[in-house]
Amino acid sequence: MQLDAVPPDVLVDLADIDLYDPATFRTADQHPTWRTLRVQAPVWWHAEGGGTGFWCVSRYADCERVVKDHRTFSSEEGTILASVGVGDAAGGQTITLTDPPEHALIRVPAMRTLGHAIVQQRSQAIRDRVVELIRPCADGEVDFAVLMRRLPMVLAGEFMGIPERYWDDIALWAGACIAPDDPAYALGRTPAQTLRLAHHELFACFRELVRHRRAHPGDDLISVLIGVTDNLSGQGRPLDDWRILLNCYSFILGANTTTPNVASHTLLALIERPEIWAGLAAPGATAGLVEEGIRWTSPTHHLVRRASADTELGGVRIAKGDWVAAWVASANRDEAVFDDPFTFDITRSPNKHLGFGGGPHYCVGAPVSRLALSVLFEELTGRFAGFESTGPLVHLQSNWINGLVSMPVRGTPRRQPAPGRSGS
Ligand code: HEM
């Protein structure tokens, strides 16, 4: 299946739209649906889902307002479709599930470990890890989607101070939490059992890591979380262990839901456009590729919020308490904002995609992801003259994440280093 195929001019019937069922995303390209919504019903009531239904917001301007206007559209009760109607048990306790001003409690210290300057200081360590990660590509066929599962751990592991021996397990459990319906992550007999099991394993692992960091503090994110004092509540107390574990979960999921899928989808876009590959060997050429890769992939299909007041959006009345899904994947292909939105254009400028979200929750991992993805494609284009697909793509069964479960590829090694590269 070709997920990024240019959508046909025919629009789909509104009555046939189901953006809640995860299986929809495994078997069909959703761009025709989002395009239909942008044209016919930009703020549309999705009656099925979570028992309550939810608003589907598909135009860029409306999605941007939903993610930026935290006073009207709150993150406190959940930010994904799975929370619609039931809320998220971690609501009000994590960086993701708090609104300003409480949100700053974790956000500000987290920026100290994931900010641009720190990321630059660690850039060589990240490059070394990425080079190690792509080594199997030189041996023939690899499943790039499987290989890239480790990429977020290279980042989150490095910045959270998680020893490498945990990385593969954490990536697997995170995958099961993200897509418990997908057969690739079926750890239990049912999706609910898979989710319980993966949560249990992840939290047991975080508990051990936090215990270790209490005894041996460092400059990593877990140590920073241990040092946070909740002055905002007026109590001046450190975070309790449960809150620290929930925030570890937020960071691990933030990294695992997104980075591997941007890497795989971007390589796929390049395989389909081999003419772009040659130009990428020039130093500095990968920055535009990464931005376009994020816009193109939009790894989080949607960002959910709950209205905390009656309001109007795109001329439609939203009632206090309504759930609202901002389909950023749709916003990132909005014809009103992007010229030729279905063209993969690495020279696109400006490229103000909503792939990292916007407003107070703008991705805290953006600096490290941009660097790592840029390094990844520098190293790939330096070593290989191109890649080809060698087997069928398998898409993740998820209404939340635009993921690839399997993507077999083979690289053609360069006979000589790319111009301007050492080829080391
Ligand atoms: C290309 C890679 C990435 C993309 C496209 C991406 C995308 C996003 C998006 C769309 C949001 C907003 C969520 C919302 O508004 O509800 C977000 C937030 C977040 N991301 Fe990322 N992310 C990426 C990589 C990472 C990495 C590597 C980490 C961890 C090191 C991370 C950690 C987080 C966290 C903790 C938040 C919540 C921030 C807050 O609420 O203030 N992300 N990300």
How far is the centre of ligand 1, averaged over its atoms, from the C-alpha of 201 (Å)? 22
Retrieve residue 161's tokens: 């101070």
The pLDDT of residue 419 is 63
Instruction: Please check the confidence at residue 416 and state whether its pLDDT lies above 90.
Output: no
Atom of ligand 1 nearest to the CA of 107: 41
pLDDT band of 1, cuts 50, 70, 90: very low
Q: What are the pLDDT digits (tens) for 89-114? A: 999 999 999 999 999 999 999 998 99
Instruction: Please check the confidence at residue 421 and state whether its pLDDT lies above 70.
Output: no
d(CA 61, CA 156): 31
**Residue closest to 254 by CA, chosen among 153, 399, 127, 377:** 153
Q: What is the mean pLDDT of residues 115-128?
A: 93
Instruction: Please check the confidence at residue 418 and state whether its pLDDT lies above 80.
Output: no
Q: What are the pLDDT digits (tens) for 336-357? A: 999 999 999 999 999 999 999 9
The pLDDT of residue 422 is 54
Instruction: Please check the confidence at residue 404 and state whether its pLDDT lies above 70.
Output: yes
Average per-residue pLDDT in the chain?
Answer: 93
Ligand 1 close to Cβ of residue 155 (< 6 A): yes
How far is the centre of ligand 1, averaged over its atoms, from the C-alpha of 123 (Å)? 19
Atom of ligand 1 nearest to the CA of 305: 16
d(CA 297, CA 8): 19
pLDDT band of 4, cuts 50, 70, 90: very low
Atom of ligand 1 nearest to the CA of 297: 5
**Residue closest to 336 by CA, chosen among 88, 77, 62, 48:** 62
Sketch the domain layout of the chain as residue ranges.
Answer: 19-413
Phi and psi, residue 278, nearest 5°: -60, -40
Ligand 1 close to Cβ of residue 162 (< 6 A): no
The pLDDT of residue 3 is 47
d(CA 409, CA 49): 37
Q: What is the mean pLDDT of residues 378-390?
A: 96
Are 134 and 147 in contact by the 8 Å Cβ rule? The answer is: yes
How far is the centre of ligand 1, averaged over its atoms, from the C-alpha of 249 (Å)? 12
How far is the centre of ligand 1, averaged over its atoms, from the C-alpha of 364 (Å)? 6
d(CA 52, CA 194): 25
Q: What is the mean pLDDT of residues 314-342?
A: 97
The pLDDT of residue 231 is 79
Q: What are the pLDDT digits (tens) for 187-226? A: 999 999 999 999 999 999 999 999 999 999 999 999 999 9
pLDDT band of 7, cuts 50, 70, 90: low
DSSP-derived 3-state class of residue 377: helix
**CATH code given to domain 19-413:** 1.10.630.10
Q: What are the pLDDT digits (tens) for 234-280? A: 678 899 999 999 999 999 999 999 999 999 999 999 999 999 998 89
The pLDDT of residue 423 is 47
How far is the centre of ligand 1, averaged over its atoms, from the C-alpha of 365 (Å)? 5
